[in-house]
A and B are shown apart, each in its own frame.
Chain A
């Protein structure tokens, strides 16, 4: 029993943080958010994309014998948290945390595509059965999709009907995905496929929870900084106890969601994963509300960068069934008498 991250895991997160400090500041996000069309959006993100590609995270969760790094979700969870902290527009988590390892389950059928996407000459994303809207699909060359849980199919993005949709988050470029009668370039069916989808959903849920943790922590930082800077009645607003306690409560929420997310990443146990989704969404939501309140009218304006983090949090909180479905999953376990402490 050892609930600490190792040096390597922390260093990887540290280097991502440094990169994002340089290339994913509020001003960088704003430039992308103000982009009028896809090419100017891509131009605003180009440097960061190039730097991210140099970080060597491609295939992080793909088995080593298939050309990946062979890491586990727990090795990736701090990276996802950093992506959240920065409201990173690029789908690092969706690709490396979800789609790449899913593509790897296709084995030989997906091998050539995997080689292409691992070297970065193409991008692959996945959308679990039942998903109709997918972020960043407009940038992808390959998509892993299906209508059914027991089928996993790889498509060329150009064969799929993708319609641009707006998100409340100006940095999430959504596409409505319609399969129609597109022909997959590879396809598998059967029980192992269902479990591959299930695993992909679990990874996506945990890693989005980690992003929510990062987003919440960032919003708390922004709120604290503003509370020191903004003066009313001749003193910093942050010296008022009502403001202090609101932010202290956010910290409590965040710090008790954190171990749940990490444990979910380490075990991938379904109840832990659902719990992580609930706790992280709740904490990030509380952080967003408190941070906006602390900013006064500024918080309601387009002007402050806070909006990027808050909107990302609201968007992520709804994915994979959203908070209420995850809560219901925990509650169902309770009804079935499955919820006990390990030692009970």
Chain B
């Protein structure tokens, strides 16, 4: 097979099917933020709906409620998903991170216990890796899960756990050997977040909403059956989460192509308005950034199609995970900064409440969306492995430069 950038009839058919379903089912109005109690439940409901027609985890095998689609088909589905501005995936951790780990490392009992509820949105999952003293240096983590009969007794402090305020379960790394250090003696354990000994406290983010949380464990007991994989093997299982699909699936290109498209629309509308009102044109530097953003969003999409094709042909994902992380996070930031520059004095306007007159309300709405996106884009270079750490990985493992 040589390079062929045309979709097959089967791929076109999948696109049409996804488009029809999404157009019929996507909520007419945007859902309230999932960082609120009400919004969380609305998003959970949406997950259940996706699941009921097997659109929730399209790459999962049929037996677990998926469609067994390959990565290119997944990209097509994602394109359709973002095309209609469908709701953010509150179930993202479960679908893309924990589910695949469970399928690979879980026992049959664990699979039947967790997978169906995960798939349907009945359980929403949070990641619990970071600790106050273990961020980039995750192996410095100290929270212990010490064996006591058929239970682990957990003590310690996790932090920055996205969606943990309302989520049902968490998966993460715990030190099952209290005397161990660094990567040894860690196990991959799942913990219910609403259980005695577990206290979840929301941490307000830059936008003021409690999008992440800290979790205190005080003699919290979970059965040994909550451990995924062998005791002491947690690090390598966790790295599998960080590696393969994550490097590709954490942020699908359609998300950025959609933002680029909105940015171009904003730019063109503003150009027109300024021409009509005979005010100064948009700064050429900003105009150039808009063009660059479109190019970069396309480059990211093409790169993902190339990686997906290679994986389908039996290849494996290597450095792409780190390259991708740097590229999309900087692109996202750049797009939002350009939008704010175009909005100018309107950029700081918040929300609709109490705003008189439709024109200003619309402007405030648009500004809020871009500003919220901008605030979130600032986190991109930090979460999922800070970009400095990704650069270290590229230099050390790909370019073969000496450890510092």
Q: When chains A and B are docked, how far (Å) is the Cα of A247 from the Cα of B391?
A: 9
The reply to whether the CB of A298 lies closer than 8 angstroms to some CB of chain B is: no
Distance to closest chain A CB from B201 (angstroms): 35
A1 touching B299 by the CB < 8 A rule?
A: no
Contacts of A335 in B (CB 8 A): 268, 271
Known A-B contacts A330-B295, A343-B80; A3 and B301 likewise in contact (beta carbons under 8 Å) = no
The number of chain A residues touching the other chain, given as a range, is: 35 or more
Known A-B contacts A239-B402, A239-B404, A343-B15; A256 and B291 likewise in contact (beta carbons under 8 Å) = no
The reply to whether the CB of B146 lies closer than 8 angstroms to some CB of chain A is: no
A262 touching B3 by the CB < 8 A rule?
A: yes
The reply to whether the CB of B11 lies closer than 8 angstroms to some CB of chain A is: yes
The reply to whether the CB of B186 lies closer than 8 angstroms to some CB of chain A is: no
The reply to whether the CB of B160 lies closer than 8 angstroms to some CB of chain A is: no
A256 touching B288 by the CB < 8 A rule?
A: no
Contacts of B8 in A (CB 8 A): 1
Distance to closest chain A CB from B18 (angstroms): 10
Contacts of B24 in A (CB 8 A): none
Binds A, one of B126-134, B209-217, B302-310: B302-310
| Interface of B (DSSP majority class) | helix
Residue in B closest to A265 when the chains form the complex, CB atoms: B3
The reply to whether the CB of A238 lies closer than 8 angstroms to some CB of chain B is: yes
Distance to closest chain A CB from B317 (angstroms): 13
The reply to whether the CB of B98 lies closer than 8 angstroms to some CB of chain A is: no
Contacts of B257 in A (CB 8 A): 341, 344
Contacts of A228 in B (CB 8 A): 400-402
Residue in A closest to B4 when the chains form the complex, CB atoms: A2
Contacts of B312 in A (CB 8 A): 2
Q: When chains A and B are docked, how far (Å) is the Cα of A308 from the Cα of B299?
A: 28
B side interface size, CB within 8 A: 64
Distance to closest chain B CB from A30 (angstroms): 26
Contacts of B267 in A (CB 8 A): 334
Q: When chains A and B are docked, how far (Å) is the Cα of A251 from the Cα of B318?
A: 14
Contacts of B320 in A (CB 8 A): 255
Known A-B contacts A240-B404, A275-B295; A337 and B268 likewise in contact (beta carbons under 8 Å) = yes
Q: Mark B370-390, 1 if CB is under 8 A from A, else 0.
A: 000000000000000000101
Distance to closest chain B CB from A47 (angstroms): 32
B2 touching A9 by the CB < 8 A rule?
A: yes
B299 touching A259 by the CB < 8 A rule?
A: yes
Contacting A3 at CB < 8 Å: which of B79, B309, B399? B309
A244 touching B2 by the CB < 8 A rule?
A: no
The reply to whether the CB of A252 lies closer than 8 angstroms to some CB of chain B is: yes
Contacting A74 at CB < 8 Å: which of B3, B301, B327? B3
The reply to whether the CB of B394 lies closer than 8 angstroms to some CB of chain A is: yes
Contacts of A5 in B (CB 8 A): 2-3
Q: Mark A232-266, 1 if CB is under 8 A from B, else 0.
A: 00011011110111011101100111111011011
B3 touching A256 by the CB < 8 A rule?
A: no
Known A-B contacts A1-B6, A339-B294; A331 and B302 likewise in contact (beta carbons under 8 Å) = no
Residues 89 to 131 of chain A near chain B (Cβ within 8 Å)? none
Residues 71 to 99 of chain B near chain A (Cβ within 8 Å)? 72, 76, 79-80, 83
Contacting A334 at CB < 8 Å: which of B3, B290, B302, B402? B290
Contacts of B388 in A (CB 8 A): 241, 245
A248 touching B261 by the CB < 8 A rule?
A: no
The reply to whether the CB of B254 lies closer than 8 angstroms to some CB of chain A is: yes
Contacting B264 at CB < 8 Å: which of A75, A249, A279, A334? A334
Contacts of B294 in A (CB 8 A): 330, 334, 339
Contacts of B288 in A (CB 8 A): 327, 331
| Interface of A (DSSP majority class) | helix
The reply to whether the CB of A37 lies closer than 8 angstroms to some CB of chain B is: no
Contacting B323 at CB < 8 Å: which of A235, A241, A255? A255
The reply to whether the CB of B37 lies closer than 8 angstroms to some CB of chain A is: no
Residues 244 to 300 of chain B near chain A (Cβ within 8 Å)? 254, 257-258, 260-261, 264, 267-268, 271, 287-288, 290-291, 294-300
Q: Mark A70-99, 1 if CB is under 8 A from B, else 0.
A: 000011000000000000000000000000
A259 touching B302 by the CB < 8 A rule?
A: yes
Contacting B313 at CB < 8 Å: which of A4, A257, A330? A4
Distance to closest chain A CB from B221 (angstroms): 43
A244 touching B395 by the CB < 8 A rule?
A: yes
The reply to whether the CB of A22 lies closer than 8 angstroms to some CB of chain B is: no
Q: When chains A and B are docked, how far (Å) is the Cα of A1 from the Cα of B326?
A: 26
Contacting A331 at CB < 8 Å: which of B76, B291, B298, B402? B291
Q: When chains A and B are docked, how far (Å) is the Cα of A220 from the Cα of B398?
A: 12
The reply to whether the CB of A267 lies closer than 8 angstroms to some CB of chain B is: yes
Distance to closest chain B CB from A74 (angstroms): 5
B395 touching A248 by the CB < 8 A rule?
A: yes
B291 touching A259 by the CB < 8 A rule?
A: no
Distance to closest chain A CB from B72 (angstroms): 5
The reply to whether the CB of A224 lies closer than 8 angstroms to some CB of chain B is: yes
Distance to closest chain B CB from A116 (angstroms): 31
Distance to closest chain B CB from A7 (angstroms): 9
Distance to closest chain B CB from A34 (angstroms): 32
Contacts of A251 in B (CB 8 A): 319, 323, 394, 398-399
Distance to closest chain B CB from A38 (angstroms): 40
Distance to closest chain A CB from B338 (angstroms): 12
Contacts of A227 in B (CB 8 A): 401
Known A-B contacts A9-B2, A259-B305; A343 and B79 likewise in contact (beta carbons under 8 Å) = yes
Known A-B contacts A227-B401, A344-B83; A2 and B326 likewise in contact (beta carbons under 8 Å) = no
Contacting B391 at CB < 8 Å: which of A248, A266, A267, A331? A248
Contacts of A241 in B (CB 8 A): 388, 392, 404
Known A-B contacts A257-B299, A262-B306, A337-B268; A224 and B401 likewise in contact (beta carbons under 8 Å) = yes
Contacting A256 at CB < 8 Å: which of B79, B303, B402? B303
Contacts of A1 in B (CB 8 A): 4-8, 11, 72, 305, 309
Known A-B contacts A244-B391, A260-B298; A238 and B305 likewise in contact (beta carbons under 8 Å) = no
Q: List 8 A-B contacts (CB under 8 A).
A: A1-B72, A3-B306, A243-B401, A256-B303, A262-B3, A334-B267, A334-B268, A343-B76
Q: Which residues of A contact B (CB under 8 A)?
A: 1-6, 9, 74-75, 220, 224, 227-228, 235-236, 238-241, 243-245, 247-249, 251-252, 255-260, 262-263, 265-267, 275, 278-279, 327, 330-331, 334-335, 337, 339-341, 343-344
Per CB-CB distance, the 10 closest pairs between chain A and chain B, nearest first, are A244-B395, A259-B302, A248-B394, A248-B391, A3-B309, A341-B257, A343-B79, A239-B402, A238-B401, A3-B306
Other contacts beyond A3-B305, A327-B291: 7, CB < 8 A:
A1-B6, A1-B8, A3-B302, A247-B399, A255-B323, A257-B299, A331-B287
Q: Which residues of B contact A (CB under 8 A)?
A: 1-8, 11, 15, 72, 76, 79-80, 83, 254, 257-258, 260-261, 264, 267-268, 271, 287-288, 290-291, 294-303, 305-306, 308-310, 312-313, 319-320, 323, 326-327, 388, 390-392, 394-396, 398-404
